[in-house]
Amino acid sequence: MALPAQKQMKYWGIAAVVIAVVLWALGDVLLPFVLGAAIAYLIDPIADRLEAMGLSRTAATAVITVFAMLLFVVILLVVVPTLIYQMLDLAKVLPEAFKNLRDFVQQQAPSLFDEGSRAQQTIVSIAQTLQSKAIGVLEGVVGSAVSLVNVLILFVIVPVVAVYLLLDWDRMVARIDELLPRDHAPTIRELAARIDKVLASFIRGMGTVCLILGTYYAVALMLVGLNFGLAVGFIAGLVTFIPYLGALIGGVLAIGLALFQFWGDWWSIGMVAGVFAIGQVIEGNFLTPKLVGNSVGLHPVWLLLALSVFGALFGFVGMLIAVPVAAALGVIARFLVEQYLDSRLYQGKAHNDAD
């Protein structure tokens, strides 16, 4: 005999509250395990392809692990030191560039900077706000995420968790399927397949787009001669998952630095702007349609809201689970809309006539 819907909602509600409390209380402890699970989820299709080529699951996991270790060592030795140096130098140069911009504007429109003017007060207020926010962010980062112990723990535990989960991924999925409530198993499988499709399109697809564009911006800007090309490319690629924002932030930053570095050399400044124009053409016409698709089902505004809410509630772990939770809620919302459109409540008399 099936449980009444009211009791089912009660049990599912209790389970959701328990999960939320555990995430809130043990967020820092769960971080390496959530990261490991995310990595295993992302790499699982590669392991499945290697199995289809004739390798066992253990051999496929071993091949992926060795390749990942080699790639990590290369990135750690070649890319990371240069990126860190450029980011630190960029943090030192930006205040000087901002001061030069202020001096230029002051020469062109001195009335804006008259003592006591509304424009001058607004600029001072904005500067003080940005300074206080930057100090708060730096204190939070130094106090939690970038402590040496946490970083070492992440580097040790995350790969181990990812390898073990990747090795047992198919068995875990099969076991979870066996434990589904029998009355609702077909519906849950359908929703899970939809959620997986959305996540695969967004995370794997957009992750690849971010990687390709970030690499392109970094290499192209360094070839043009921009001093902080690698850092700007990294920043632009990192936020490419939000349409147009990656190119906007990276373009404004790169062109501003180009004006600071190449002032008077308009050919070099135009080449920097052209790098981002070409990047937008490549992303809009080739990368996003081919790797992500035209309809992912995960709107950028909805994603930003999820990242903000879960980040505020559960910290960095919340930001990691925000994307799958947002995808799941979006799929469930569309499923409920489908049920409503097929219900008697929506169709009314036409539904009765069809019956």
Tens of pLDDT, residue by residue over 144-177, are 444 555 666 677 888 888 999 999 998 998 998 8
pLDDT exceeds cutoff 90 at 141: no
> Residue 236: pLDDT band by 50, 70, 90 thresholds?
confident
pLDDT exceeds cutoff 60 at 23: yes
pLDDT exceeds cutoff 80 at 273: yes
The pTM assigned to this predicted structure is 0.67
> Residue 290: pLDDT band by 50, 70, 90 thresholds?
confident
41 vs 293, more confident: 41
> Residue 62: pLDDT band by 50, 70, 90 thresholds?
very high
**Range 29-33 contact pairs with CB under 8 angstroms and sequence separation of 24 or more:** 30/317, 31/154, 31/316, 31/317, 31/320, 32/153, 32/154, 32/157, 32/158, 32/161, 33/157, 33/161
> Residue 7: pLDDT band by 50, 70, 90 thresholds?
confident
Tens digit of each residue's pLDDT (9 = 90 or more) over 92-113? 676 666 676 667 666 666 665 5
Of 39-48, 313-322, 345-354, which range is least confident? 345-354
- Which structure tokens are listed for 48? 């499945």
> Residue 298: pLDDT band by 50, 70, 90 thresholds?
low
Secondary structure (3-state) at 81 = helix
Secondary structure (3-state) at 315 = helix
Of 224-233, 237-246, 310-319, 321-330, which range is least confident? 237-246
Mean pLDDT computed over 120-143? 56
Find out whether 57 and 51 touch, Cβ atoms under 8 Å: yes
> Residue 305: pLDDT band by 50, 70, 90 thresholds?
confident
d(CA 222, CA 259): 15
Cα-atom radius of gyration of the chain, to the nearest Å? 25
> Residue 128: pLDDT band by 50, 70, 90 thresholds?
low
Looking at residue 50, its pLDDT comes to 92
User: Which of 289, 310, 259 minimizes the C-alpha distance to 101?
Assistant: 259
> Residue 342: pLDDT band by 50, 70, 90 thresholds?
confident
pLDDT exceeds cutoff 60 at 134: no
Tens digit of each residue's pLDDT (9 = 90 or more) over 181-233? 888 888 889 988 888 888 877 777 777 888 888 888 888 888 888 887 888 88
Mean pLDDT computed over 60-65? 92
Mean pLDDT computed over 53-76? 88
Looking at residue 145, its pLDDT comes to 45
Find out whether 232 and 253 touch, Cβ atoms under 8 Å: yes
Looking at residue 268, its pLDDT comes to 85
Which positions ≥6 away from 215 have C-beta within 8 Å?
233, 237
d(CA 305, CA 303): 5
- Which structure tokens are listed for 305? 């809201």
